[in-house]
Amino acid sequence: MENLERTCASLRAQISATETKLAGLRRELESAEKAAIDIRKQEDTKTEEENKNRETRTWPLLAEEYRRYGRQMIVPQLGLQGQLKLRSSRMLIVGAGGLGCPAAQYLAGAGVGTLGLVDGDTVEFSNLHRQVLHRRRTVGKFKVDSAIEYLQELNHHSTYIPYRAHLTPQDAPEIFKDYDLILDCTDNPATRYLISDTAVLLGKPLVSASALRTEGQLMVLNNPPRPAGDATGGPCYRCVFPKPPPANSVVSCADGGILGPVVGTMGLLQALEAIKVITASDSTPRNPPSLLIFSAYSSPQFRSIKLRSRRANCAVCSAEAKVSLDTLKSGSTDYEFFCGTATPETLLSPEERISPQEYRARHPDTFAAGTTPAVDGKHTMIDVREKVQFDICNIDNSINIPISSILSSRPTPAAEDGIPAPLPSWLPRDIASPDSTDPVYVVCRLGNDSQVAVKRLKELGLDRGGQRFIGDIQGGLHAWRRQVDPEWPEY
């Protein structure tokens, strides 16, 4: 009883100390926010004074701006007039990640007058290898705040506007209306269609890019922007992709991987195309719409595919348009429904799935204190991640059968005349042995591919009509890290 009372007293003391510390932190935050407001007011006053001085100056730019932008102003395609167009332009970047960071960095450096950034995500350590505006000290901050912190140091002449939320159909028109050009730096189909539709309906040119693994794509859409039904306008995203890809075929950077320089290249090209669109004069020849494809490991690395003009039956930019600002704001244009859901289905019953903790309880002999779990001869652990992931980290004595090998094999033909059908070549002999009834466990990264593999193994009859357990580790290796091995690498 005395020990419990001492514990309670200790906890009360810790809570009191924590509350005191929290109150101090709140006071510090309040002071910091007041200081930030004061500095912003001073900067705004300074900007107003600079603008007034410009009106009485002989030269249209400040002396510092001539020094800062001089190297690009002497490029014939830009010149002073192009620089003035950049300074008065307003560009919106949707997505402050791998594409948005380099695009924002070079647009701010080029002297774009106002940059808006839309993103509801916060900075994670996994972002730092490719999202070049973020730093270790900004992990946990909103990406837009982290990016603007960097951009303000790069160029204080530009104005930066954060939108700390994911883009929605209801908010998109209100945000887009104040900008001259939109950059789509997102990574999911539903948002891409939303951005394109809104840009077309508000008459904004759009620079769209994507990147995955070692490849990227780039398009300049709705350029020139024309009203719906005007065939002289540039095609929109729906013109190029009238139907979205199947939801289960969409691979994100988190699942498929990405090389930093690849997504960086595409973001830089977005910035370049945005500058070209904004600074173009009436006499500048307009390139026909095209899809630029970049492949880091191909030769040549770049190739271009000519795009068709606007589709006569496009749902947004044709005379038969069904999408309008009213359908966007009312929510009747459902982008999630249009693109489908990427939420993985549960393919197995609860009896066919076990948690990492349950696996540990079933096979305690395979766990030695202080070591990585090992597999003994009484059961088999199959890891269906691709080899490149298996080589990063794997459970001792597990075997690697990539899900791509399992899915690419042809279905096994039915047995004829009592002769058993041949089993696929990827299947190990000891598992295929008709005498073996040892359980088989399948694991993957998140617990999705493992379900597909279990179903395939059962279709091959390896569960011996239910006499042999074949199931997956629910939650995959992410759950393994949480429940079994905290030191398991997180990637």
Give me the active site residues, please: 253, 444
Amino acid at 415: A
- Is 430 annotated among the ligand-binding residues? no
User: SS3 of 371, please?
Assistant: coil
127 carries a ligand binding annotation:
yes
Q: Is 243 annotated as a binding residue?
A: no
Question: For strand 181-184 and strand 90-94, is the pairing parallel, antiparallel, or unpaired?
Answer: parallel
Q: Residue holding tokens 């007293």?
A: 9
Which sign does the torsion angle of CA 183, 188, 191, 195 carry?
positive
Q: Binding residue per annotation — 130? A: yes
CA distance 265 to 78: 22
Question: Sign (positive/negative) of CA torsion 72, 73, 75, 77?
Answer: positive
Helix (H) or strand (E) holding 6: helix 2-56
User: How many other CB atoms are found less than 10 A from the CB of residue 202?
Assistant: 17
Using alpha carbons, select from 410, 404, 372 the residue that is nearest to residue 387: 404
- Residue 187 and residue 347 in contact, taking contact as beta carbons nearer than 8 Å: no
CA atoms within 13 A on the CB side of 137: 2
Q: Within 13 Å and on the Cβ side, how many CA atoms surround 288?
A: 7
Number of residues that this document lists for the chain: 491
187 is in an annotated binding site: yes
Of 237, 178, 230, nearest to 210 (Cα)? 237
Reading the block at residue 420, the tokens are 């058993």
Residues 6+ apart with CB under 8 A from 469: 439, 440, 463
314 carries a ligand binding annotation:
yes
Name the residue with tokens 């690498």: 489
| Residue 128 annotated as binding site | yes
At 427, which amino acid appears?
Answer: L
393 is in an annotated binding site: no
Q: Is 339 annotated as a binding residue?
A: no
Binding residues: 98, 119, 126-130, 143, 187-188, 236, 239, 314, 317
Binding residues for ATP: 98, 119, 126-130, 143, 187-188
Binding residues for Zn(2+): 236, 239, 314, 317
